[in-house]
Amino acid sequence: MNLVRVGHASLILVVLPSLAAAQQPEQQQQRVVRHHAAGHDMFSGEQFELPAGADEVSVPFRNVNQHILLSLLVNGKGPFDVVLDTGMPIGGVILYDDDARVESLGLSYMDGVEVRVGGAGGKGDAKPARLATNVGIQLGDLSISGARATVLPQRDGFGAYFDGIIGAALFQNFVVTIDNDRGVLILRRPASFEPAEGAVAVPLTFDGGMAFADARVQVGDAPAVPVQLVVDIGATHAVSLNEGDDPKIAAPANAIATTIGRGASGEVTGRVGRIRSLEVGGQALSNVVATFPDKEHHSPRGMDARDGNLGNGFLRRFNVTFDYAGKRMFLARAKSAGEPFEWDMSGMQAEPTGEGIVQVRRVLPGSPAAEAGIVENDRIVKIAGEAVTDKNYFSMRERLRKGAGETVAVEVLRGDKPVAVSIKLRRLV
């Protein structure tokens, strides 16, 4: 999980005996095993209820920072805004325990287990978590009972615009259509599904709870080459490519070395540059911004990510249907298909600190932000005259990704001193 993933997704749930459980009789430890969420889910027991006589439900969503956000209720309380994520191959919902709302849910946590969630290619340790069972989830007109909630204690570096993540609970039980033109998620019972006229079918293969699709990429003047990519709707980049032995899959010479994302286990470093084309299911888009993670991020938590990761930066340009039962997805071009791919034009990388503020982590040398006088550890207060918070920063950051040649006013705090600068944006990639 570009979660932010701006990089790889693929969560791993590891369930280990706690010290207390390790001292219990063997027969009481049988449910305490190591589990990598690879298809079989030992805690599954979810029941799904649609309105009487209905074979599908529609749920509105918002697109924030190229994440698909759904609003749902947990145990009748909320709403909680959660990211829809094919890279979450475990049932139920993940919640971040950032405020009193989670404690108010009255969750019944499992005793004698220690849960750790990792992934997204970061270098940090997996996060400790608590596991609750028999949870009720309400998503529009869809009711889910007997679900699981995995509660994480913190999310350093992530924005506060989302409260959690949902994935396998939907993708493994419904045909899921993401209608980007209308901003609507449609969940259908597989037996009632008929592909939309004109939609292109793309075969999916599954390994370790992850869906893979064949694609073709062309980097520079080299011929296009076939690649196999994790399909990751929770990643905000268009495509992340793992450089290997094939010289045709290599970062362009002018690619920028930088932090390319953040996941559940920390920062993801690598390079970012443009490739000539990316084609999936015969649907080709050109001049695509691609990331090239450093080698240590190629196989997050030991999983085989093969040639890389196909993210929502590409998929949001289509109306996408996932039919896991049929091992396929369908692509139909959306109105946004022709939008240009862009990367940050300021050269300023900032993150929420977990304390409600947004702090500059690094400034690319020679970038517009550097030329304007922005320095590391500055706290961003305003962008284009609007106040910046940890909840809205990633939405406001879009202002720094568009409009090459435009000048944007940015106000920061340097220590206790306010500093106002003007950043003239230009394409860095």
pLDDT in tens, 257-273: 888 877 655 678 899 99
pLDDT at residue 31 is higher than 80: no
Class of CATH domain 198-325: mainly beta
- Residue extents of the structural domains in the chain: 11-188, 198-325, 348-424
Task: Assign 203 to helix, strand or coil.
Answer: strand
Quote the pLDDT of residue 20.
Answer: 32
In angstroms, the CA 348 to CA 371 distance is 11
* Residue whose entry in the numeric block shows the structure tokens 């950032």: 98
Residue 15 confidence class, pLDDT cut points 50, 70, 90:
very low
**Alpha-carbon gap, residue 331 to 309, rounded angstroms:** 17
For residue 101 the two structure tokens come to: 């709302």
Q: Any idea what the Cα angle at residue 195 is, between residues 192 and 198, rounded to 5°? A: 160
Query: Quick check: helix, strand or coil at residue 81?
Result: strand
Residue that has been written with the tokens 């947004």 in this structure: 358
Read off the pTM: 0.86
Q: What percent of the chain has pLDDT over 70?
A: 81
Cβ neighbors of 19 (< 8 A, separation 6 or more) are none
Q: Are the C-beta atoms of 261 and 251 separated by less than 8 Å?
A: no
What mean pLDDT comes out for the span 89-113?
A: 86
pLDDT score, position 40: 41
Can you say whether residue 78 is alpha, beta or left, with left for phi > 0 and alpha for psi between -120 and 50 degrees? Answer: left
- Given this chain, do its domains 11-188 and 348-424 carry the same CATH topology? no
Partners of residue 218 on adjacent β-strands: 277
Distance CA 389, CA 224 (A): 42
- What φ, ψ does residue 288 adopt, rounded to 5°? -90, 135
CATH annotation of 11-188: 2.40.70.10
Q: List pLDDT tens digits, range 68-88.
A: 999 999 999 999 999 999 988
- In CATH terms, the fold of domain 348-424 is Pdz3 Domain (2.30.42)
Burial class (CB in 10 A: 0-12, 13-18, 19+), 398: middle
CA distance 296 to 309: 15
Give residue-wise pLDDT tens across range 350-376. Answer: 988 877 789 999 999 999 999 999 999
Whether pLDDT at 406 is above 90: yes
By the 8 A CB rule, do 11 and 87 touch?
Answer: yes
Which residues lie across from 350 on neighbouring strands?
360
Q: Is the dihedral of CA 270, 271, 272, 273 positive or negative?
A: negative
